[in-house]
Amino acid sequence: MKNKRLDYIILVIAVLIFLLLQLAEFSKIQYPFRLLGTWFHEMGHGLTALLVGGDFKYLEIYENGGGVAYSTLNNKYLPLHICGALTAAGGLLGPAISGALLIMAARTTKYASIFLRVLTGVMLLSLILWVRSYWGIVVLGIFIASFLVIMFIKNKRVERTTVLFLGLQCALSTCLQLDYLFTKNFERDGQVMNSDTQNIAANTFGTYWMWGAFILVISILMLWKSIRYYFRSS
């Protein structure tokens, strides 16, 4: 019962911190987590491209919090339009899936420790293979260094709390980015480009807002299921 109460306290504190960081007054503190969310998003695009038989060239993260993953697709396994839709969806669902896995891993100190090391390794690998922008290198370098310090301390409770907070940060960020989920086009470097939801619709069927609603529902469902698993009795 004592451990369960402590779990609730940790979860509530993590959610409150996340919500506080969304306020304008905390924009400087929240900034590195925005860039981390962009990394999860762009990695979702790139890794999905690899899974459907394409190539993940590199990714960039910009000072304003935006980013882009450069990849090429082919019809090696699936038709090109399906590959395009899945790759677009991969970026939107990447943070939600990663967040859910981290929240579930935080249920025990053993798996929290394992996932923290896996996440650090993936970040280091992406830094070597794919990240090709100044801000991306800086933010990943800071997070990798921070995680290494946490692992060096060897405090299992701190590792578990870190993994839970990161999971909530990822999962909740998807649920709160309604402006992008329900955007058809956006401008980058003077060019009008399709949003991810519009790319899904263009490669399959329906409209961008329909796919935005679908992604939002799936993200909320994964968040809810992962939190229920976190509190599940052993």
Terminal Cα distance for the chain, rounded: 12
Q: What pLDDT digit, counting tens, does each position of 159-204 carry?
A: 998 999 899 888 887 766 778 889 999 887 778 889 999 999 999 9
Domain ranges of the chain: 2-230
Task: Record the tokens describing residue 4, joined without a space.
Answer: 């369960």
CA separation for the pair 5, 134 (Å, rounded): 42
Residues 6+ apart with CB under 8 A from 47: 56, 90, 94
Predicted model pTM? 0.90
Residues 66-118: tens digit of each pLDDT:
899 999 999 888 999 999 999 999 999 999 999 999 999 999 999 999 999 99
- Could you give the CA distance from residue 96 to residue 217 in angstroms, rounded to a whole number? 11
For 138, the token pair is 């800086």
Strand partners, 194: 185
Beta bridge partners of 191: 188
> What's 138-150 look like in SS3?
HHHHHHHHHHHHH
